Amino acid sequence: MRKYFNLFDLQQKVDYKNEILSGLTVALALVPEAIAFALIAGLSPITGLYAAFTIGFVTSILGGRPGMISGATGAIAVVYVGMIAIIRKAHPEISVDEITQYVFATVILAGIIQIIVGLLRLGKFIRLVPHPVMFGFVNGLAIVIFMAQLDSFKIEGNWMQGYDLMIMLGLVLLTMLIIWGLPRITKAIPSSLVAILVVSAIVLGFGIETKVVADTLGNGETMAAGFPIPQIPSIPWNWETFSIILPYAFIVAGVGLIESLLTLNLIDEITQTRGSGNKECVAQGAANISSGFLLGMGGCAMIGQSLINISSGARARLSGIVASLGLLSFILWGAPIIEQLPMAALTGVMFMVAIGTFEWASLKTFKRMPNSDIFVMLTVMFVTVLLHNLALAVLCGVIISALVFAWENAKRIRARKHVDENGVKHYEIYGPLFFGSVTAFQEKFDVANDPEEVIIDFSESKIVDMSGIECVNKITERYLKVGKKVHLRHLSSDCRQLLKNADDLIEVNILEDPTYKVVVDKI
């Protein structure tokens, strides 16, 4: 049954059955993840569950990518570990509840930063992330998702052995088999949901003793809670507090936006549609502000749950809304049931997500990719896996790619030389003149042996930056010192603007050419 679903600015055809079933599947998968990420940060499990509900709900309505799921994430949780350590060092007597208030304030501030980024339309800069960085990000994240599930094979911090291990492995493999095999028979119902229900029925029906969701909670902790009541974080509102949380707010905002925008791009590729990065930035900001006021730890887009949702056939906002409301229902009324779900079923689902997330095609391109691209991909992947810092991993990849690009372009500067019938020597420059190519550019000129008049022709070149301008200045100075005249020819309009802006630093003789035209954007 397909009908039109109209929510705010969106009107699209929706398969209600797929959307609702996909949303319920995602809601079940969100539970252990939200709890685990809260515990990583040293917070109460309920802060992770509240964050998953709030962020998922707000971004599903306002976000720029229908079908993408957001919630509490490990990348954000890791950021709090450092901040909490600093707070404890400064205030040894502080309680867990008081520290949690600092987290809420940090989340709110991060949300404000994200909204500013969206309003300034800075989301477009995600296009600067090269494809090898995307490969490394996705592959690293797949490994992180896989490794995060290994804790399910521990009981009270110790690895399972004997009967417990065999039962756990058997149930996980059964879950994965159902997810792999059911779509080959029918796609009427999401295979992940069927797998969770079947394995749960087997465990409960036969009374099999195995690890359940309740075992992942802290001592005395429970999923059950009331609806979050909005409140202002109870912290000292002074400069000391601000100086502590502001740097971490920027990190939370940056990590959240990078992970969200990269996930958005990945879902775009899978669905062959296009989301709005700037709109997603604003939505993530609004979601984090709401999460901070509603006792949540904050978060961002979740690639694993997003892939579960998309692979289950969801393409609209409804699935995300169902997932968040379903999670809220578990918190308010269904906690006793959800706490008895076997971890093996949820672990099997996430294992399949990890397998589906990994870009296996990237392994086939090793022989065809440049060595620099392979190095970038592996660097991003290893930083993601070892440090669990997606922002740092992507930043490293972008910087390395930029340096490689600069190096390769630096080698492309060339000069064709000839002397015309009037005895004027021409240097026809090819390639961009920028900080990386200035040394090679200077080596092209023979100042001592050149005639009295020299023309440097930039018809096939371009002065890109201040280093290029300074380089031209040095060349003209060398010629002037020996009493020779230099003309610059065929400068594009933006190059002339650069020279005009640098009048105080450089004085050159531009040879006008009324027949020369160039189409170039003004910088």
E strand spans, 8-116:
10-15, 70-71
What are the tokens at 41? 């940060």
Instruction: Look at residue 154 and tell me if it is in a domain.
Output: yes
State mean pLDDT over 208-237: 86
**pLDDT greater than 80 at residue 395:** yes
Q: Please tell me the least confidently modeled range out of 17-26, 156-165, 217-226.
A: 217-226
433 Cβ contact partners less than 8 Å away, ≥ 6 residues apart:
413, 441, 458, 461, 462, 463, 464, 468, 471, 472
Burial of 130 (0-12, 13-18, 19+ CB in 10 A): buried
One domain for residues 242 and 314? yes
Q: Whole-angstrom distance between the N-terminal and C-terminal Cα of the chain?
A: 52
Mean pLDDT of 450-478: 88
User: Could you tell me if 298 and 324 lie in one domain?
Assistant: yes
- Of 370, 402, 434, the domain-final residue: 402
- Identify the pLDDT of residue 520: 38
Tell me what pLDDT residue 517 has.
39
Given a cut of 90, whether residue 278 has pLDDT beyond it is yes
Model pLDDT, residue 66: 92
Residue that finishes a domain, picked among 375, 402, 429: 402
Please, what is the average pLDDT of the chain? 85
* Residue 176 belongs to some domain of the structure: yes
- Residue 326's pLDDT is what? 94
Q: Helix H segments across 123-161?
A: 131-148
Nearest CA to 377 among 153, 86, 131, 186? 131
- 428 and 397 co-located in one domain: no
Among the residue ranges 3-17, 75-89, 222-236, 242-256, the one predicted with the least confidence is 3-17
CA-to-CA dists, residue 518 to 137, 276, 340, 366, 472, angstroms: 39, 33, 70, 40, 21
Quick one: pLDDT at residue 102? 95
Q: Pull the structure tokens for residue 165.
A: 């291990």
Same domain, 370 and 466: no
CB-CB contact of 445 with 481 (8 Å): no
Angle at 252 between CA 247 and CA 254, to 5 degrees: 95
> Is residue 87 one of the residues assigned to a domain?
yes
Rounded Cα distance, 196 and 202, in Å: 10
Closest CA to 458 of 437, 431, 484: 431
DSSP 229: P
Both 392 and 431 in one domain: the answer is no
Of 433 and 388, the one with more pLDDT: 433
Q: Read off φ and ψ for residue 94, nearest 5 degrees.
A: -70, 145
Q: Verify that 377 and 416 share a domain, yes or no.
A: no
Q: Decide if 112 contacts 285 (C-beta within 8 A).
A: yes
Do 192 and 310 share a domain, yes or no? Answer: yes
Is the model's pLDDT at 449 over the cut of 50? yes
Listed range (132-136, 280-284, 425-429) with the worst mean pLDDT: 132-136
Q: Let me know if residue 49 belongs to a domain.
A: yes
**Is 432 within 8 Å of 406 (Cβ atoms)?**
no
- Dist. CA 347–CA 151, nearest whole Å: 10
User: Alpha carbon of 244 to those of 86, 102, 419: distances in Å?
Assistant: 8, 9, 66
Q: Which residues of 382-412 are buried (b: 16+ CB within 10 A; e: fewer)?
A: bbbbeebbbbbbbbbbbebbeebeeeeebee
Find the length of the chain: 523
Reading phi first (left if > 0) and then psi (alpha if -120 to 50, else beta), residue 207 is in left
Looking at residue 519, what is its pLDDT?
Answer: 38
> Which stretch of 33-47, 185-199, 287-301 has the lowest confidence by average pLDDT?
33-47
- Whether 369 and 267 map to the same domain: the answer is yes
What's the domain count of the chain? Answer: 2
Among 170-184, 185-199, 236-250, 504-518, whose mean pLDDT is lowest? 504-518
Q: Where residue 451 sits, what CATH number does that domain have?
A: 3.30.750.24
**Inside any domain, residue 444:** yes
103 and 183 co-located in one domain: yes
Inform me whether the pLDDT recorded for 505 exceeds 60.
no
How far apart are alpha carbons 193 and 308 in whole angstroms? 10
Q: pLDDT value at position 49?
A: 93
Q: State the greatest distance between any 2 C-alpha atoms of the chain, in Å, as a whole number.
A: 100
Once rounded to an integer, what is the mean pLDDT over residues 101-127?
Answer: 92
Cα dihedral 394, 396, 397, 398 sign: positive
Q: Is 100 helix (H, G, I), strand (E, B) or coil?
A: helix
DSSP H/E element including 2: strand 2-7
Q: From CA 189, how far away is CA 182, in angstroms rounded?
A: 9
Q: Is residue 454 located within the same domain as residue 489? A: yes
Within a domain: 523: no
Domain span holding position 460: 411-511
Residue type, 155: I
Q: Is the pLDDT of residue 167 over 50?
A: yes
pLDDT > 50? residue 245: yes
Q: Is 8 within a domain?
A: no
Does pLDDT of 1 surpass 60? Answer: no
Q: Is residue 10 part of a domain?
A: no
Kind and range of the H or E run holding 394: helix 390-410
Residue 510 has pLDDT above 80, yes or no: no
Q: What is the pTM of this model?
A: 0.73
The H-or-E segment that residue 357 falls in is helix 343-357
| Together in a domain, 388 and 429 | no
| Highest mean pLDDT (candidates 139-148, 220-229, 324-333, 500-509) | 324-333
Given a cut of 70, whether residue 12 has pLDDT beyond it is no
Element (H, E) at 56: helix 45-62
Q: Which is higher by pLDDT, 376 or 8?
A: 376
DSSP 264-324: HHHHHHHHT----HHHHHHHHHHHHHHHHHTT----EE-HHHHHHHHHTT--SHHHHHHHH
CA atoms within 13 A on the CB side of 260: 40
Type of residue at 245: I
Which of 52-56, 87-91, 211-215, 334-338 is the most confident on average?
Answer: 52-56
Give strand pairing partners of 10.
7
Query: 326: part of which helix (H) or strand (E)?
Result: helix 317-329
Q: Are 112 and 101 in contact (CB under 8 A)?
A: no
- How many whole angstroms separate alpha carbon 378 and alpha carbon 220? 43
Average pLDDT over every residue of 443-449: 92
pLDDT in tens, 320-361: 999 999 999 999 998 888 889 899 998 888 888 788 878 888
What are the phi and psi torsion angles at 230 (to 5°)? -60, 140
Q: Which of 19-23, 82-86, 170-174, 431-435 has the lowest mean pLDDT?
A: 82-86
pLDDT tier at 522 (50, 70, 90 boundaries)?
very low
**Which of 377, 402, 427 is the last residue before a domain boundary?**
402
| pLDDT given for residue 507 in this prediction | 46
Q: What is the model's pLDDT at position 406?
A: 87
Cα gap 153→161, rounded to integer Å: 9
Q: Which of 94-103, 150-159, 242-251, 494-503 is the least confident region? A: 494-503
CA-based nearest residue to 268, from 9, 64, 421, 49 = 64
Q: Are residues 220 and 366 in the same domain?
A: yes
Is a pLDDT exceeding 70 seen at residue 377?
yes
Look at residue 210 in the predicted model and tell me its pLDDT.
93
Q: Look at residue 521 and tell me whether its pLDDT is greater than 60.
A: no
- CA–CA distance, 260 with 292 (Å, rounded to integer): 18
- The crossing angle, in degrees rounded to 10, of helices 191-205 and 16-40 is 70
| Residue carrying the six token digits 């990065």 | 277
